[in-house]
Each structure stands twice: as structure tokens, then as C-alpha cells.
Amino acid sequence: MIIRKATTEDVEQFSIHICDEDVEEFNAREPNRDLRETLLSHLDDNSVVCVDEEGFVYAYGGHLEGEHQDGACWFLTSRHLTDASLMIKLKVTRLIKQHAEKLLQTYPFLWNYVWSGNTFHKRFLEVIGAVFHYEQPYHSEWTGERFDLFIIGGGK
């Protein structure tokens, strides 16, 4: 299992297998968008996938650069991860944590917001070292749903 640069084919495959919690978060942020098109629109030089030897995509993510975005990171998971064995889940977790540590060599900290209803992601983020700042939520302008700020690294 490895993390490598994402391709259009990876994103096409992933869009069919995205886990239910991430679809719910996608809709909680801004409903009525085309999931596949939105995922493809985020494919850039910083996009990566976590894949196994058979090409199954377990996670798709990336990070943003530019004014007010440096260190903003994101990832989504697939049903392949939700349904995977504990051993595979641990491998994916280790790889994503290593990827975050690599990014922390460039950025003082990583950050983003996660939907408060996505308990799977919140637990995963805690395992890789995220600290939540519940006093600084973001609320979707389309749905009013709450998103919680998390920070990885940077002295928290």
C-alpha cells in the first residue's frame, strides 16, 4: 500500500466508492453539487491517493497552497476502507500520518474543518494527532451545518 499522486482514473473510481459519511459531509457543506465533478475539480499537483497493490483507492486527498490556505489539508475515504480489515485500516492510518508529517516539514501546521456529524473522520483525525478547536466552528452558508476546526502540529 502506498500514497502517490492522484490520477483522473483514481478519482473516477473513488467517486463511485466514497464512504457514506463523506457523502453526508459533502451534502452538509453544500448540497446539490455533482460529487464526481467536484472531486475531479480538486485534482491538482497536490492531490494524492492511498492505494493498495490491486489499485483499490482507500483515500483521496490533498493540501492547498496560497494566501490564507497554506497547510489546509483534506481527505475523503472510500467504502474499501470502511469495509477493510483492522490490519488494512492500520496501514492506511500509518500512511496518512506519515504523509501529514511530511507536509509538516513544509507547513507549521495543517488545518481544516470537519463536519460535526462525521464521527468516523473525527476519530481518524484524533488518531493521527489532530486537536479540535470547538470554540471556532464554521457553519455552512447553504445548510447551517456545523464544521469543527482541527489542527495537526504547530504546537496545537
Band the pLDDT of 140: cuts 50, 70, 90: very high
Percent of residues, the chain, with pLDDT higher than 70: 99
Could you tell me the pTM of the whole model? 0.92
CATH topology of domain 2-110: Aminopeptidase (3.40.630)
Residue type, 46: N
Asked if 77 and 14 touch (Cβ cutoff 8 Å), the reply is: no
Model confidence pLDDT, tens digit, residues 8-47: 999 999 999 999 999 999 999 999 999 999 999 999 999 9
Give the pLDDT of residue 155.
Answer: 60
Nearest to 19 by CA among 104, 92, 78, 96: 78
- pLDDT greater than 80 at residue 70: yes
What confidence tier does 118 reach under pLDDT thresholds 50, 70, 90? very high
Report the DSSP beta bridge partners of residue 78: 18
pLDDT of residue 156: 47
Q: Give the pLDDT of residue 68.
A: 74
Q: Indicate the pLDDT class of residue 154, thresholds 50, 70 and 90.
A: confident
Torsion angles phi and psi, residue 120, rounded to 5: -60, -50
pLDDT of 119 higher than 80: yes
Contact 4, 48 (CB under 8 A): yes
75 pLDDT above the threshold of 90:
yes
Contact 21, 118 (CB under 8 A): yes
In the prediction, which pLDDT does 115 show?
Answer: 98
